Amino acid sequence: MEDITATTNEYNTDYILYQSDYCSKEYVARVGSIAIPIFFSIVIILSLIGNVMVLVILALYESLQSLTNIFILNLAVSDLMFTLGLPFWACSFIWGWIFGDAVCKGVNFVFFIGFYSSILFLMLMTIQRYVAVVYPLSDWETGQKFVFVPILAWVVSAAAAIPASVQSSVVSDPNDPNSLHCEPNSESDKFVVIYLQNFFFVSAFIVMAFCYIRILQTVFRTRAQRRHRTIKLIFCIVVVFFVSWAPYNIVIFLQLLSHHEIKAFLECNVSKHLDYALYVFKFLAFSHCCLNPVFYAFIGVKFRNHLKMILQKVFQRQRVTDHDQQRIATVQTQCSVL
């Protein structure tokens, strides 16, 4: 009897120590509540400036009969939709979710539409680039026969975003009932959302990798004068996409293993390291929405020239306004002297 009691007490002691160590993530949460809102604010500002500028340039100077410009337009819109969810997530890291259940579902829907459509339009732009280089006689670039493609991409994105919206609600923190979070209703719902994210990323990367390998093979066989510049651009696009999203998808997948009670991922230190890694790689992944304008728009010569024209007009108008104000001030001064 004494042996049983001693064994039970020892087990309970070990269990309590393990639980207190495992659940002690206050410092991790504090780091996230400070770092994530700051970083998200920077991403929001850069994304709004870059993507709105893309839309302005397309509206003023470019023709939307080109399929490339149609994809750039839709990519900018999807990145802006993705960006709209970031202020809500930033606020939730500071004060918890204070916006109610309806806003929780709506923000998830808009956010994930932006997320999935951004990946799809990056993939479609890659396919378009592949067809233009590998099959240069194709009429893909005209876009007249492929108007349905962007519409189909938005439909697929909306369908993929439905689970994240419908299966999310406002739940209270088990350790702090006063702290609310916008999260999936159950572990199985969370699995569906994460597996869907992983599926989209892996599928898109396989397609992009295949297309760019074939593009590079075609470019190396030709004697184009700007071959090295094209190779550098293609290399940057693939690397940025992979580096931005691959670590994030790997970490969220590894965190799922702890929910499947795999022993190695239940240890306190491993769990904390995964939380820190998730913060860092979430920063990297979510910043992709403000990098897209650079790599898919402003890196082009025409877009750079259009941007210069806009900036020149803005500064020229500002100089004219300052000059007029200075003349008015001078006239008022002379009148007051008289």
Rounded Cα distance between 28 and 265, Å, is: 17
Higher-pLDDT residue of 295 and 133 is: 133
Output the pLDDT for position 108.
92
Residue 244 has pLDDT above 50, yes or no: yes
**DSSP code per residue over 215-283:** HHHHHHHS--TTHHHHHHHHHHHHHHHHHHHHHHHHHHHHHHHHHTT-GGGTSHHHHHHHHHHHHHHHH
Output the pLDDT for position 233.
66
Mean pLDDT score, 74-81: 92
What confidence tens digit (pLDDT) does each residue in 176-214 have? 667 788 888 887 888 888 889 989 989 998 998 898 888
What confidence tens digit (pLDDT) does each residue in 266-299 have? 566 666 777 778 888 888 888 888 888 877 666 6
The answer to whether 325 and 285 are in contact (CB under 8 A) is: no
Rounded Cα distance between 22 and 11, Å, is: 16
Helix ranges restricted to H, 135-226: 148-166, 187-221
CATH topology of domain 27-299: Rhopdopsin 7-helix transmembrane proteins (1.20.1070)
Higher-pLDDT residue of 171 and 305 is: 171
Mean pLDDT of the chain: 76
Rounded Cα distance between 121 and 196, Å, is: 17
Higher-pLDDT residue of 13 and 119 is: 119
The closest alpha carbon to 299, from 223, 243, 236, 239, belongs to 236
Rounded Cα distance between 39 and 188, Å, is: 30
pTM across the whole model: 0.77
Torsion over CA of 131, 291, 46 and 300, rounded to 10 degrees?
-50
Mean pLDDT score, 49-63: 85
Tokens of 148: 């349905």
